[in-house]
Each structure stands twice: as C-alpha cells, then as structure tokens.
C-alpha cells in the first residue's frame, strides 16, 4: 500500500490497518480468532511507530530504513495487555492461561501492570512486564562528581581511580562461536542437525548478551547510586562501528546500552548525567596543565605530557578531564587549583536532567 500510494501516511496508520485486518480476518485468516486480539493490535502499533520513524528519517534526511517484514521463527515476540496477574509462581495471561515461571522471586513486580511482552530467545520463552510506578521526588544524591571513560581494555575508568574490568563476554567465546557458525553453514538446510546447531548458537549468543547486560547493569547502578554527577563522553557509536576492527569490541562493551541505562537510572536515583560533546578532546588533553596533544594513537596506553611531564594512564587522564570540565573549579592531577576558563568554549555539556521527555515522573520498569 505504501508503494501504491506514494508513501501517503494515511495508509500506514495503525488504526486503519487494524480495521482492514479485522475485515480480512473473517475470510482469510480465521485462525487468528484463536489468539488474543491484542497481539496483532500491538504488532500494528509497532508497525505504525516504525513507519513514523521511517517518515521522520525521510524528512530529516536520516537513514532510517523501511519497516522490515517479519517472519515466523525469527525474533518471535508479541505483546499483550488486559487481565494479567501473578499467582505465586504463575502468571495469568489473556487467552493463554496460567503459565509457570522458572525464575524464583519474592515479588515479581511493583506498581500497576501495563502490558507484557512475551519473547522467544534461544527457544526459551521470556516474559517482561511493563509496570507503572510513581517514583517519589528523588532527593539529589549527596556525593562527588565523577568522570567515566569507557574503554576497550578496561570497561570503565572512573576519575576517582576506580576501574571496572571488562568481562569480555564475547572474546572468550569467539572461537567457539566461529566454530559453531562454521558448522552451521555446513549443515543441510531443513535438517534436524542444522536445527540443533542453530539452537546451540542461539544459546551462546544469549549467554553473551546476558553476561554483558549484567556487567553494565552493575556498573550503571553503582554509578547512579553513589555519585551526584556523572560525566560521560558523547561517543559516536555508529561512526566507531564503521571501523571494522573496532566494531566487534565496541559492540561487546555495549557503549550505547551503557548510556541508555545511565539516563534512566539517574532519574530513578536522583543523580545528574552530564554528556560532554564529542568535540571535547578528553583523551588528547593533559589533565594536569591543559596541554593538548595533536595526535594520540589508540595503542598509546599511557599519556605522557610534553609540557609538564605528567605520565598517567590514558583512560584515567580522560576521566579526569571529563570530571574537570563539568566543574567550574577543580583540583587537577598535580594538586593545584585550576580554573577552566575556556570550559564553556571547549565543551557544550548537555545536562540530560533538563530534558523532560527523557525522565518522566512515572515510568515503566521491566521486571
């Protein structure tokens, strides 16, 4: 319809598509009556959103692709709403009934259930519950400001010299992963053996994802709970992903996910997230005297200042610069008080807290 109507968005409106589907259901898809009506409705809503993004991309000249067609067996998921409740270790879903939950928890959720999304990952079914919970006015956290530099060798280096190591979830498994995908490519399409290998591969990917997610959650929760201000760099992830040698490690660390988690957790716990412009030379500048190097290659792990002779870990130097730029006056690494008079000029620190649409008062929390 999009093609036939030259992209007129009247035809991609979810409500209109829903009407059309309802009329088609009777004649062409009678089996659809077996499942909850929410599932196709929500799918159409998602499609509507995908089309909206696509049109926005066309207008703003951004590359946002045409919504992709879905097929059975790939990213299987559906969203439901209506009468959803928990009873002991069971969840009641509309049309499906009671389902036992594998995960043991005293309390599965707080607040009011909005909807659930059921997803199949590595042939296991997962349910995430979106709930609405009013978060009381969070008191600003009393604590210091901290600069965080994300890296490849060390996951995060904090300006207070704390470091978080990278679990390298992917790297330790990459050999196995390669072997498996090679083996998969040799299996005959449609064979049982292929299905088996496919599942093993999917399980491994899921495991890697879980390890990565766990590390990031621990890091971001720690940061948001213990510091009043967190200063990070606005990394151009998509640009870095184009560098083929870097792409895998960056995807492994999950830079984008790190920022996304920090954004909402700062809202929950009452800390402030400051994102420093990517034009700010956080790694090239000396955290002691402000001298700027013209070039600094990625292989140089130590920062050596030609002007004041400071030798410091590269990531720590960057973290110190980040925290310094967010404060009007600060002690530098040499212990002297310096004033970054040019700070407003060299960075335009964007405070995420002031954008109301990012952190609403009540928000959905996934259980």
Q: Among all residues, which ones are annotated catalytic?
A: 149, 233, 315
Which listed range, 13-21, 113-121, 308-316, 317-325, lies at the site for Zn ion (CB under 5 A)? 308-316
CB-nearer residue toward Zn ion: 235 or 289: 289
Please, which of residues 90-149 interact with Zn ion by CB under 5 A? none
CB-nearer residue toward Zn ion: 93 or 320: 320
To the nearest 10°, report the CA torsion of 9, 12, 15, 19: 120
- Does position 305 interact with Zn ion (CB under 5 A)? The reply is yes
Give me the least distance between CB of 285 and Zn ion, in Å please: 9
Give me the least distance between CB of 303 and Zn ion, in Å please: 9
Taking the C-alpha atoms of residue 227 and residue 333, their distance in angstroms, rounded to an integer, is 20
H-run or E-run covering 339: strand 337-339
Vertex 343 angle, CA 339 and 345, to 5°: 140
CB-nearer residue toward Zn ion: 101 or 308: 308
| Count of residues that bind Zn ion according to CB under 5 A | 8
Of 123, 307, 348, 362, the one binding Zn ion (CB under 5 A) is 307
Helix (H, G, I), strand (E, B) or coil at 14: helix
Give me the least distance between CB of 279 and Zn ion, in Å please: 20
The contact pattern for Zn ion, residues 309-348, with x = CB under 5 A and - = no contact, is -x--------------------------------------
Please, which of residues 40-69 interact with Zn ion by CB under 5 A? none
Helix (H, G, I), strand (E, B) or coil at 119: strand
CB-nearer residue toward Zn ion: 12 or 287: 287
CB-nearer residue toward Zn ion: 253 or 333: 333
Vertex 323 angle, CA 261 and 251, to 5°: 40
Give me the least distance between CB of 310 and Zn ion, in Å please: 5
Helix (H, G, I), strand (E, B) or coil at 272: strand
Of 15, 114, 308, 334, the one binding Zn ion (CB under 5 A) is 308
To the nearest 10°, report the CA torsion of 53, 59, 60, 61: 100
Listed in sequence order, the residues at least 6 apart from 70 whose beta carbon sits closer than 8 Å to its beta carbon are none
In this structure, the strands spanning 145-150 and 229-233 are: parallel
Taking the C-alpha atoms of residue 250 and residue 112, their distance in angstroms, rounded to an integer, is 37
Give me the least distance between CB of 291 and Zn ion, in Å please: 4
Contact 122, 200 (CB under 8 A): no
Please, which of residues 265-304 interact with Zn ion by CB under 5 A? 286, 288-289, 291
Which phi and psi (to 5°) does residue 176 adopt? -60, -40
CB-nearer residue toward Zn ion: 96 or 308: 308
Give me the least distance between CB of 287 and Zn ion, in Å please: 8
Interacting residue ranges for Zn ion, rule: CB under 5 A: 286, 288-289, 291, 305, 307-308, 310
């Amino acid at each position: 319809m999009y093609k036939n109507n030259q992209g007129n968005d009247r035809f991609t409106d979810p409500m209109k598509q829903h009407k059309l589907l309802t009329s088609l259901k009777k004649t062409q898809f009678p089996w659809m009556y077996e499942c909850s009506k929410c599932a196709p409705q929500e799918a159409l809503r998602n499609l509507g959103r995908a089309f909206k993004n696509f049109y926005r991309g066309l207008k703003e000249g951004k590359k946002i692709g045409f919504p992709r067609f879905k097929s059975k067996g790939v990213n299987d998921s559906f969203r439901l709403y209506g009468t959803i409740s928990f009873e002991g270790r069971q969840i009641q879903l509309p049309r499906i009934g009671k389902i036992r939950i594998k995960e043991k928890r005293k309390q599965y959720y707080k607040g009011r259930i909005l909807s659930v999304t059921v997803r199949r990952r590595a042939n296991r079914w997962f349910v995430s519950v979106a709930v609405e919970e009013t978060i009381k006015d969070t008191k600003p956290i009393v604590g210091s400001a901290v600069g965080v530099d994300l890296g490849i060798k060390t996951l995060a280096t904090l300006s207070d010299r704390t470091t978080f190591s990278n679990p390298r979830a992917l790297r330790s498994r990459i050999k196995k992963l390669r072997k498996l995908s090679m083996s998969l490519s040799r299996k005959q399409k449609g064979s049982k053996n292929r299905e088996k290998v496919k599942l093993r591969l999917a399980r491994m990917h899921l495991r890697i994802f879980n390890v990565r997610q766990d590390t990031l959650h621990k890091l971001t929760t720690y940061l948001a709970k213990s510091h009043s201000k967190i200063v990070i760099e606005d990394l151009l992830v998509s640009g870095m992903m184009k560098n083929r040698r870097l792409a895998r490690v960056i995807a492994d660390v999950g830079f984008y996910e790190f920022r996304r988690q920090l954004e909402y957790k700062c809202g929950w716990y009452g800390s402030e997230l400051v994102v420093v412009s990517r034009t700010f030379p956080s790694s090239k500048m000396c955290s002691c005297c402000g001298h700027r190097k013209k070039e600094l290659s990625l292989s140089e792990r130590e920062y050596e200042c030609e002007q004041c002779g400071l030798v410091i870990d590269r990531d720590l130097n960057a973290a110190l610069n980040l925290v310094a730029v967010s404060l009007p006056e600060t002690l530098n690494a040499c212990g002297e008080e310096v004033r970054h008079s040019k700070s407003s000029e060299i960075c335009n620190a964007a405070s995420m807290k002031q954008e109301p649409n990012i952190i609403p008062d009540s928000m959905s929390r996934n259980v």
